[in-house]
Chains A and B, each alone.
Chain A
């Protein structure tokens, strides 16, 4: 008989809380592993079928908000950490180290995007993000994604300590964008890129109808640029694409500036927002078109 049950000794030794604490202190795997885990935590490298198993889950022109299931991420981490586990010794070691490695991975996850943006990550002060903080995200499949490079998607959080910088913001295919937020946003605003000032009209209630919403010019109590509201409704000039008086002759859909200016002035005078006629700059103010944006509010948070 062997007289030395040294395996038992080793086992007991590894089970001592002091030893485990020490291990956690000194045995953290090198940076590469944490990098890898941090990326995995943000679903990088996850086979796409495990994110969207079926096309029907995200048809074209659709937006899907989701929560990142921490249990699923845990399982993913466990799978990742189980590579190379031959024996129950490896297993035991992995168990001891898993939580530490995960925290380290989370820190890396927070750094990755910040690193790409060249800004200070929020955990730079040594405050690690809470690995149990629920993450959420959105998948947006639309021609907007392909047609408007530089789309802005801005989350706002009830908890102001959460960084507005998403953890992941990546165009993962031609028309698909994947965003992961470090928490649950109150609302998410999707904006057109705002590179330049343009003139334009707004779409009206029908396909052939256009609206021009009126803006104050500092007359009659209407502040410059502010929307003119009459009877609690935004005051607007509406016209139809079939209304030839608003277009120049020739059928090229070129606006007739004179007609429009006249109509606008009449309407504004009626609202008490104009005396006299519109100067060119005042006219331009009426026709300046702001970038389009859509705000999605989280219904669940306010209930």
Chain B
């Protein structure tokens, strides 16, 4: 336990203090509770202020297995403080702090700096508020709390800094020694803490709430691990450290005449004792100013603080390093040369570091960054069906990571399908109601608060209405839950007989924008809290000891002999009572031996003389600190060091305590809070006319930044500072660079090394400006709420639906109801930093931008280093920092872009893996060589093609029905597919397109063609070979798209707006949305038709349409979406199914949707392909036709003819492959044009596409002495090659050259297998000796 002492004398005046207690007295008056930022609380009274950091194991929550919530252990509530000194002028003194002393209606009589208050519920749940914490002189104290109920934990008052900040814990975890001596002196303090009621000790064996309990040794060890405590290394043979500790405890108990408890209770520890020592505290004399470690703004040295502002601490870190390396502290390797360390660090952080030489600003990295700028809320549930897990072993090993048998869509009966669709509809309504309930509970809470503040009639009416509505909704939800459960049960039963199962998938998530993050450098971070294990070399635990392992003596070499000095001689006996732990005198003795200021005393005793030589004193001091000084950089074993240091000679059981508990004094500085005040300038209209959306985010395009008094809103708050981000990044970076040890670090990565090696300043602290954003919708989340106690309000407010989708919002924050408070549902504007304070646990303040004017008053705005996304307008980082940073438009309330696949036949039905709900309307296959588009239905049946016809310059699109099975465009079954065709024809009643259609089709073809240039998704679909043969089939897919708010829209909460339900016109904002992204190679979207308008194709790429159709067919505008739309927008997407769909709107993270493979797989395999072929010379008697190579492909010839003026087709199915072999025609050949038709055999079956000998033709006759090269291409799971009667050899599925030697005639067989079957091909090879 780290104890620190702040020395305050009457002359202390250099440091600003801000020590404030929670204003809990305001609780029942509905006032502001949390301390306000920038309050100068004045100089504290002189004395020595002690503040101790509780062990991490006690301050960190423990999440038990299976539990939803986190339990916080109770905290020690009794503390003994002993002041002692080698300096005779300072008498030894001892005090007791009762942390949980409850003043109730009394007031403390001492003159304390703040009255720390606590709120606690009484037995009936009513909040009780009191000042807590009392200190006593040890001699006048008696224990009364052996059996009392403890209530303190690390999140007391819902305040995570409860145990740390001086304003909250005066005389709780904090003590003031009112030392006022005018003369200089030095002193030391020891602090010991324990539980007045040992049942609340986390080590206690009997479970009570908050305590885990244990029965076996293993339980105890697990508990210790949970608490991050360890008595030594368990890895050592027989756990010798624990055995020794237990032995030491037994010895000590025996010496004290204490009978141990029976069993493990007597040998293992069931009680904890926290102790810490701060020694060599220098009191300069009451009229002398003590030193200070608070950083000061100093522009002459390098200690000027910089503040980076960004969406995440990583962004801030990256921007800060960019600034440091390129401008503030230029790169030593390339002075004057900018290095893009910002993107390098971002890429490193997102594990997307490019290979040297590659570009860094990939859209993928930008997306990863953008996605980190949001918080996530669950988006409900969608039910889908799937076939039962496939038990086929071969199959399951092939795709063990996949959902069972996802390759086939389920096939439901109409009854099942209806049941499933209903379940989904019910679930969607229920999820929406749950979200609505949460938003209305917030509203109810706000109304209730307002009523308490200002019980006027309109508020009462509003409150009653909200309460009634919430109650109605709750009743509705409980009923709906039952209905959903019943519907689900019925469906499950119904499906089980059909070998189908219904599973739930998460719906699209909701997102909230993060608050901005500030990063501050040169604030001097501290390791006092949360870093207990910092000195643990071997494991991740704090080293702790058993009773009896104390240091009792020190062996001193006097130069002539070795003298053992017993601590009890150095330390005058401490008289204690039975009310404090018996270990305390021993710990005090140990403290004397560890305190270097007692080295002189120890030397006197050892030497038996009053003026021992300084060299002996120095040696003793070295012995006392040897273990700390050596341990950090020595490979020496801890035990060896302990023995070298001369403590407890001959005692194998003792241990030196962890360094965190033995602290040489210096004035403390432990930054805790960032207090911030900024001016926010809202700048947005509902059309977002001044913000430019570039497909991924908005940037300011409105010219001069509008900052003026009209739109200025000062915002302020107090946030906790943390160094975690920097620490993590630093160590990851170190690990990464270590991988290059011994090798050359690529030039591109050198900036990473620079930032690691101190060109960058790693003394950084960062914090989210928590609550900034919510203040814009009038919610102050810094406050903790007053929770109503009357069931009338408490119950509906706290009701959690059976399927909770969010933790309760009530009780976190407070509405800001002052009239005139602006209400901005969309955050968009600019931020100016006005004032920043860093406050430490003693309340010391570091003012980051003190006023430059001598009169004080007006703070000096600090220019921020803007991180990515925060650069105002077109600013890019340079030496001159901007006055403002930008906050591009974000919707403050939780929102989502809900993208779902819907049934191709019915927009109202979500795709649920039932084959009838497939979102695929059909397929198109563009043929870029002759500018035509083949159109298929969703089973892969060809319907016809759109092609250009007519004279050059006057071409029109023409629908040509496919041979035999094709249909007229008027008869295409799927409405969307038909509309697509008819939209291109510009004609709904004729297969011949309008005059407009020729250009439309040409434009369309060009756009698709050029889109395919950069859209090259190498997805993991099976059909890689398909595109080589026929191009890329594009799916025509139906989907719904909607911008949704999480629950009801937030409303203006000010008293004046009560009952008006004013939501800031959120519905009028229209947000650009991009569907598909041409810059992402994994994206497969070609474009889409919006809102059933098939006369206009929204392409992801506009291309260079030289002669656009008029009106244009291909456009490239973003789709505008609005909240609170009556129904979703429906779109028909053209998608290369190997790629995914990215939707981005700037205001939300990029949503990536993948079309489930099960809709695609078989269809693509069965797709019937026709190739216009001819002129071909062929023998039409025997139908000899040259056919593309490839085993297993089935071909037929479609021969057109005119029958009664109509085109009629004949299909010839038995074709003879015409090869290069001499086959002199028997019959007169003729020249034919027609279509070659290919069916099946692509993909699912194992196939051999080619197998032969390089450079030779069939029959293979190879001169002797030549090494022939076999080559083959096959598809399947594995392949083997067998040469003649030899053994089969495993070979790859594709080979360009497999050496073959032989003689005579040999038969070579290639066999390919997969889970579904096998195929083999054999070739004879003859080796001849003549040439």
Q: B392 on the interface (CB 8 Å rule)?
A: no
Report the bound CA distance from A2 to B1225 in whole Å.
59
Report the bound CA distance from A126 to B1222 in whole Å.
35
Query: By the criterion CB–CB under 8 Å, are A86 and B1257 in contact?
Result: no
Query: By the criterion CB–CB under 8 Å, are B1255 and A173 in contact?
Result: no
Q: B240 on the interface (CB 8 Å rule)?
A: no
* Shortest beta-carbon distance from B638 to chain A in Å: 61
Q: In the complex, which residues of chain B have a beta carbon less than 8 angstroms from the beta carbon of A173?
A: 1221-1222, 1224
- Most chain-B Cβ atoms within 10 A of its Cβ — which of A10, A53, A83, A112? A53
Query: By the criterion CB–CB under 8 Å, are B1218 and A49 in contact?
Result: yes
Q: B1179 on the interface (CB 8 Å rule)?
A: yes
Segment from A40-48, A186-194, A259-267 that makes contact with B: A40-48
Query: By the criterion CB–CB under 8 Å, are A86 and B1229 in contact?
Result: no
Which residues in window 1161-1177 of B have CB below 8 A to A? 1177
Q: In the complex, which residues of chain A have a beta carbon less than 8 angstroms from the beta carbon of B1296?
A: 30-32
Q: A62 on the interface (CB 8 Å rule)?
A: no
Q: In the complex, which residues of chain A have a beta carbon less than 8 angstroms from the beta carbon of B1028?
A: 83-84
Query: By the criterion CB–CB under 8 Å, are A54 and B928 in contact?
Result: no
Q: A55 on the interface (CB 8 Å rule)?
A: yes
Query: By the criterion CB–CB under 8 Å, are A52 and B1013 in contact?
Result: no
Report the bound CA distance from A82 to B1048 in whole Å.
58
* Shortest beta-carbon distance from A267 to chain B in Å: 43
* Shortest beta-carbon distance from A38 to chain B in Å: 9
Q: A226 on the interface (CB 8 Å rule)?
A: no
Query: By the criterion CB–CB under 8 Å, are B1027 and A86 in contact?
Result: yes
- Most chain-B Cβ atoms within 10 A of its Cβ — which of A2, A8, A54, A117? A2
Query: By the criterion CB–CB under 8 Å, are A118 and B1331 in contact?
Result: yes
Q: B1219 on the interface (CB 8 Å rule)?
A: yes
Given A6-B1078, A47-B1219, A49-B1178, also A54-B1225 (CB < 8 A): yes
Report the bound CA distance from A147 to B1255 in whole Å.
27
Q: In the complex, which residues of chain B have a beta carbon less than 8 angstroms from the beta carbon of A35?
A: 1254-1255
Query: Nearest residue in A to B1030 (C-beta to C-beta)?
Result: A86
- Most chain-B Cβ atoms within 10 A of its Cβ — which of A47, A53, A84, A117? A47
Report the bound CA distance from A238 to B645 in whole Å.
133
Q: B234 on the interface (CB 8 Å rule)?
A: no
Report the bound CA distance from A188 to B186 in whole Å.
119
Query: By the criterion CB–CB under 8 Å, are B1104 and A48 in contact?
Result: no
Given A10-B1013, A32-B1271, A32-B1296, also A48-B1220 (CB < 8 A): yes
Query: Nearest residue in B to A89 (C-beta to C-beta)?
Result: B1013
Report the bound CA distance from A54 to B1265 in whole Å.
39
Q: B1014 on the interface (CB 8 Å rule)?
A: yes
Which residues in window 1253-1278 of B have CB below 8 A to A? 1254-1255, 1257, 1263, 1265-1266, 1271
Query: Nearest residue in B to A1 (C-beta to C-beta)?
Result: B1116
User: How many of B's residues come within 8 Å of A, CB to CB?
Assistant: 50
Q: A130 on the interface (CB 8 Å rule)?
A: no
Q: A85 on the interface (CB 8 Å rule)?
A: yes
Proximity bits, B1025-1036, A CB within 8 Å = 1, else 0: 001110110000
Query: Nearest residue in B to A117 (C-beta to C-beta)?
Result: B1331
Q: B289 on the interface (CB 8 Å rule)?
A: no
Q: B1223 on the interface (CB 8 Å rule)?
A: yes
Q: A200 on the interface (CB 8 Å rule)?
A: no
* Shortest beta-carbon distance from B532 to chain A in Å: 52
- In-complex Cβ contact of A7 among B1029, B1032, B1103, B1118 (8 A): B1103
Proximity bits, A236-262, B CB within 8 Å = 1, else 0: 000000000000000000000000000
Which residues in window 1055-1097 of B have CB below 8 A to A? 1078-1079
Q: B1101 on the interface (CB 8 Å rule)?
A: yes
Report the bound CA distance from A82 to B927 in whole Å.
13
Report the bound CA distance from A117 to B1263 in whole Å.
9
Q: A16 on the interface (CB 8 Å rule)?
A: no
Proximity bits, B1202-1227, A CB within 8 Å = 1, else 0: 00000000000000001111111110
Query: By the criterion CB–CB under 8 Å, are B1012 and A89 in contact?
Result: yes
Proximity bits, A101-135, B CB within 8 Å = 1, else 0: 00000000000100111100000000000000000
* Shortest beta-carbon distance from A35 to chain B in Å: 6
User: How many of A's residues come within 8 Å of B, CB to CB?
Assistant: 45
Query: By the criterion CB–CB under 8 Å, are A10 and B928 in contact?
Result: no
Q: A5 on the interface (CB 8 Å rule)?
A: yes
Q: B260 on the interface (CB 8 Å rule)?
A: no
- Most chain-A Cβ atoms within 10 A of its Cβ — which of B1104, B1221, B1224? B1224
Given A30-B1296, A35-B1255, A112-B1255, also A172-B1222 (CB < 8 A): yes
Report the bound CA distance from A36 to B930 in whole Å.
26
Report the bound CA distance from A10 to B1015 in whole Å.
13
- In-complex Cβ contact of B1265 among A46, A50, A89, A118 (8 A): A118
Report the bound CA distance from A118 to B1331 in whole Å.
9
Query: By the criterion CB–CB under 8 Å, are B1222 and A2 in contact?
Result: no
Q: A88 on the interface (CB 8 Å rule)?
A: yes
Q: A3 on the interface (CB 8 Å rule)?
A: yes
Query: By the criterion CB–CB under 8 Å, are B1220 and A86 in contact?
Result: no
- In-complex Cβ contact of A2 among B1102, B1254, B1255 (8 A): B1102
- Most chain-B Cβ atoms within 10 A of its Cβ — which of A8, A55, A87? A87
Query: By the criterion CB–CB under 8 Å, are A87 and B928 in contact?
Result: yes
- In-complex Cβ contact of A6 among B1079, B1178, B1254, B1257 (8 A): B1079
Proximity bits, A1-45, B CB within 8 Å = 1, else 0: 111111110110000000000000000001110010001000111
Query: By the criterion CB–CB under 8 Å, are B1013 and A49 in contact?
Result: no
Query: Nearest residue in B to A91 (C-beta to C-beta)?
Result: B928
Q: In the complex, which residues of chain A have a beta carbon less than 8 angstroms from the beta carbon of B1228?
A: 54
Q: B763 on the interface (CB 8 Å rule)?
A: no
Report the bound CA distance from A3 to B699 in whole Å.
13
Report the bound CA distance from A39 to B1104 in whole Å.
40
Report the bound CA distance from A84 to B1027 in whole Å.
7
- Most chain-A Cβ atoms within 10 A of its Cβ — which of B929, B1027, B1255? B1255
* Shortest beta-carbon distance from B799 to chain A in Å: 47
Given A32-B1296, A86-B1012, also A48-B1254 (CB < 8 A): no
- In-complex Cβ contact of B1079 among A4, A47, A50 (8 A): A4
Report the bound CA distance from A35 to B1186 in whole Å.
21
Query: Nearest residue in B to A36 (C-beta to C-beta)?
Result: B1254
Q: B481 on the interface (CB 8 Å rule)?
A: no
Given A53-B1177, A86-B928, A117-B1331, also A45-B1223 (CB < 8 A): no
Q: B801 on the interface (CB 8 Å rule)?
A: no
Query: By the criterion CB–CB under 8 Å, are B1103 and A88 in contact?
Result: no
Report the bound CA distance from A10 to B1104 in whole Å.
12
Query: By the criterion CB–CB under 8 Å, are B1079 and A45 in contact?
Result: no
Query: By the criterion CB–CB under 8 Å, are B1116 and A32 in contact?
Result: no
Q: A176 on the interface (CB 8 Å rule)?
A: yes
Q: B376 on the interface (CB 8 Å rule)?
A: no
Q: In the complex, which residues of chain B have a beta carbon less than 8 angstroms from the beta carbon of A89?
A: 1009, 1012-1013
Query: By the criterion CB–CB under 8 Å, are B1104 and A8 in contact?
Result: yes
Query: By the criterion CB–CB under 8 Å, are A7 and B1223 in contact?
Result: no
- In-complex Cβ contact of A48 among B1103, B1218, B1226 (8 A): B1218
* The 8 A-B residue pairs with the shortest CB-CB distance in the complex, in nearest-first order: A173-B1222, A47-B1186, A47-B1218, A87-B1012, A89-B1013, A84-B1028, A7-B1010, A86-B1031
Chain B positions within 8 Å of A, measured between CB atoms, are 694-695, 928-929, 1009-1014, 1027-1029, 1031-1032, 1078-1079, 1100-1104, 1116-1118, 1177-1179, 1184, 1186, 1218-1226, 1228-1229, 1254-1255, 1257, 1263, 1265-1266, 1271, 1296, 1331
A selection of 20 A-B contacts at a CB cut-off of 8 Å is A1-B1116, A1-B1118, A2-B1101, A3-B694, A3-B695, A7-B1101, A7-B1104, A8-B1104, A30-B1296, A45-B1219, A47-B1220, A48-B1218, A49-B1179, A49-B1184, A49-B1223, A55-B1225, A85-B929, A86-B1031, A88-B1009, A115-B1266
Chain A positions within 8 Å of B, measured between CB atoms, are 1-8, 10-11, 30-32, 35, 39, 43-50, 52-55, 58, 82-89, 91, 112, 115-118, 172-173, 176
Q: Known A-B contacts: A53-B1177, A84-B1028, A176-B1222. Give 12 more (CB < 8 A).
A: A2-B695, A4-B1079, A32-B1254, A47-B1186, A48-B1221, A49-B1177, A54-B1229, A112-B1255, A116-B1331, A117-B1331, A118-B1331, A172-B1222
